[in-house]
Structure 1
Amino acid sequence: MAIAISVESPLQDAVRVMVAELNAYMMPLTPREFQFQLTVEQMAEPTVTVLIARDADGRAVGMASLKDHGGGLGEVKRMYTMPEVRGQRVGSLLLRRIEALAREKGLNRLVLETGEAPGFEPAWRVYERGGFKVCGAVLDYPDSGYSRFYEKNLIR
């Protein structure tokens, strides 16, 4: 399957649909107070860059965001692929593009927070195949037991 990935505004219907589907998937897996979701409006802030994966027909089939925290630190946020393309490595392609974008921006470390409950295994596989390593709590996230944290050093 041919996939094109580009920087796009999150303020579009296709992104709103993916955000709603991602939120609906995560809601039953983790208590609400331990979910740290960016809204579409927060994804449009200047410190966040949104990548959209589109299939050969131009349909949005995945998304990922990079939040620049300054000081060389970036955070992977809002990774999602549509159910019909899962298993086709769209998530891996998005993660590689996030890493390339982080390098272009001069970031030297990427971190992310994801769920620690059953149901998050596909995300763990994507991150681990992408070279991310489990680490302790990052940024201002609580070490609640409901989150799993990953990091990747970009300095070679």
Structure 2
Amino acid sequence: MTVTVKAESPLQDEIRELVSQLNAYLLSLSPPAACYHMTVEQMAEPETTLFVARDEAGRAVGIGALRREGNGIGEVKRMYTLPEVRGQRVGSALLDNLIALAGSEGIEQLVLETGDRHPDAWRLYESRGFTRCGPVLDYPESRWSVFYEKSLSEARVA
């Protein structure tokens, strides 16, 4: 499948529907207290860029966001692809765009939180050089969460 990935406004009905599907999917796997949803309104704030993957017909088939946290840290948020396009590298295209944007902006480290029942997501993140770590940002330690980080800067010698 060929997709086009571009930064777009999250304030579109089509994106609201994808976010609704993402939220329902996450709630089917984890308790509500372990789901850290970000609304489309939050994704529209200046510190966040939403990427949308569209198929040849122009239909949104996936989303992923980069939230700038300050101090050289960016967070990967709201990664989701429609079930019918999973395994067709849509998530890879989204993540590659997020990583490229973060690098171009001088972000030194990317972090993320994902669920404990998302092995496909783990494989995607690990294929792009993310490694597991302890809790990031202000997320609590939880048996429902798996955390990842990726350095985008050269290793510094102390």
AA aligned to 2:129 is: G
Residue in structure 2 matched with residue 8 of structure 1 by the alignment: 8
- 1:54 Cα offset (Å): 0.6
Mapped pair 1:136 → 2:134: yes
Q: Does 1:147 align with 2:138?
A: no
Letter in 1 for 2:120: P
Can you give the 5+ residue segments of structure 2 that lack an aligned partner in the other structure? none
- One-letter amino acid matched to 1:140: D
What does residue range 6-155 of structure 1 map to in structure 2 within 5 Å? Answer: 6-117=6-117, 120-155=118-153
- After the TM superposition, which segments of 4 or more aligned residues of structure 1 sit over 3 Å from their partners? none
Q: Give the stretch that moved more between structures: 121-130 or 7-16.
A: 121-130
Question: What SS is found at the alignment partner of 2:136?
Answer: coil
Q: CA RMSD in A?
A: 0.8
Report the TM-score when normalising by structure 1: 0.96
By how many angstroms is 1:25 displaced? Answer: 0.6
Total equivalences in the alignment: 154
Which ranges of structure 1 fall in alignment gaps of 5 or more residues?
none
**What's the TM-score once normalised by structure 2's chain length?**
0.95
1:28 Cα shift? 2.2
Cα deviation for residue 13 of structure 1 reads: 1.1
